[in-house]
Structure 1
Amino acid sequence: MPLSRLLSRVKFDYYLIALLATVAVAAVLPARGAAEPIAKYAVTVAVFLLFFLYGARLSTKAVVEGIAHWRLQSLVLLSTFALFPLLGLALTALLGRWLPPQLAAGLMFVCVLPSTVQSSIAFTSIARGNVPAALCSASVSNLLGMALTPLLVAALLATHGSGFSLKALTDIAVELLLPFGLGQLLRPWVGPWITRQKHVLSYVDRGSILLVVYSAFSESVVAGVWTHMDPWSLVLVFGLDALLLALVLGLTTAASRLFGFSKEDEITIVFCGSKKSLASGIPMANILFPGMAVGAIVLPLMIFHQIQLFACATLAQRYARRPAEAAALPAAGAVGA
């Protein structure tokens, strides 16, 4: 396909521009002095609101129905919380010594995060995959990630100076699980309104993440982290992120076909099992890496996030072009498989 035609079919990612602009603002005008505690308080409020909205929008019925497809869900979770960490350990063992400690820790941090929700479902839909199963996979991944990610950080990132404490678990519960639970509890009353306002509230979601990114990179700028970061390290992180994604995409595709999943289920496994959540990852990094240069740690995640969007947009278009007869097979028939 010609490049111009491909670009015309993939929506321009204005959010990427907003992320880069936020980093630029943090580099020029970081929150320091009296502005620093104000920024931290604003981040706490924004993250609370972000996870409250996640809880209020998540349909419990959809999760229950999706869990019935246990083989698919198991494969996605194994990819997210086992395959990714193993590949991360291998890559950092081979090439991590050429990276600054913060970027090496950040690369491993990418590998222990849950999957995305919105983009996993969107790409599965574009590719004509099993959308209900994708909704379940992404949602369950994020719920489990609130517990599994801190445990994996403790097990795999100790050599990078990160720690695991009861306080970290408490902070995760208070800042992430509590608002999520409140959202679920109030869903019968606020859910319909939120569904009607989803376009407006998407700006709240993304604005919250931009605020967290600004705060994290401000801390790094004030601490002088970027004065010691060489361009070669950034190029290497980009290459390792791309290699990591390519390996997971290839392995999840091969495993889906090996175990006899339908094409619709393969699409769900590939898209849900290969993504990492920026929305969950940055708030978690603020909690799990206290006193460290969080901006540098989340940089590999920001790079991975953009690579996965462009790569999966292209892949979704390829899946979508398959013959209609193949896509017409009922995915529901495989739910109990």
Structure 2
Amino acid sequence: MTAPARVVVLAGGVGGSKFVLGVRDALRARGLADTTAALTVVVNTGDDLWLSGVRLQPDVDSITYALAGVNNSEQGWGRAGDTERVNEEIQQWGAGWPWFTLGDLDLGTHLARTGWLREGLTPTQVLERMSARWQLGARLLPMTDAEVDTIVELNDASRMHFQEWWTRHRARLAPARFENPGIDESAPAPGVEAAIAEADIVLLAPSNPVVSIGPILAVPGMSEALRQTSAAVVGVSPIIGGRVVRGMADVCLGAIGVQTSAAAVAAHYGSRADGGVLDAWLIGEEDSAESAAIDDAGIRSVVVPLWMKDAASSAALAEAALSAVSI
């Protein structure tokens, strides 16, 4: 096996973090000792927010920490071994959100980021500085330099930030729609379109299709870049056995009228031949009966084990994605 020279991954959330680690390991297993120049990760920034005066980028931080090996793997977010003294003090002042915990080490990241942003750096430049602290083995790019948060509108027409709906209410409030104010005026971050155009393969991580991959694809020009690239575009299903792997993605899918099935999510992304973004779609062995429907939609189905239980299984899944088409 030879290592492809250029791999781009669109990712967000815990599933995205695990998959990106797997891609890095798969590339190393193919003989690529330094994967930094080969692997570009376009990270969702659609669930970013301002809180207590600092800018939070949950997906950016989760993927950065995971690649750096300092993430809290049990919790799924934040830093390993973190403490919460500052967060407790913030809440004693009645500031912040009592149901949204910020660790002390994590707050250090947010403070550094906010300071750089206030000095005039763009999110792309900030992420470049953050990445320089550790040997990540990947280049990280935000999906856009514009501020694009996610707002959830409920059935009663009330609205709240996605993080409140997701973390405080655990998606128990029925959503009518998800909105990304400002996204129509945004543009892909510098380097994103070029990375996609020059890629040998583009991978869609098994992240939430609505609030992780969805905002990335909604940035004007992003889907078109995927349709125009000469690289194959391969996605990995976040649905196994008709169920979501983690979180409440099924609630999100229901809000946009998409069934919780591997075939339905593939159809949601669509075939590149018909104006969508996918060439191939990896599904679990539990969903092999859906292969024919996916193939009929113009997307090549590939049945593989999808569970990312550890580093080895994550790397195996990534290798399957890299091998799904000829590169």
Specify the TM-score bucket, using the shorter chain as the normaliser.
Answer: under 0.3
Structure with more relative contact order (C-alpha pairs < 8 Å, separation 6 or more): 1
- Structure whose residues are more often helix by fraction: 1
* TM-score between both structures, scaled by the size of structure 2: 0.25
- Structure whose residues are more often strand by fraction: 2
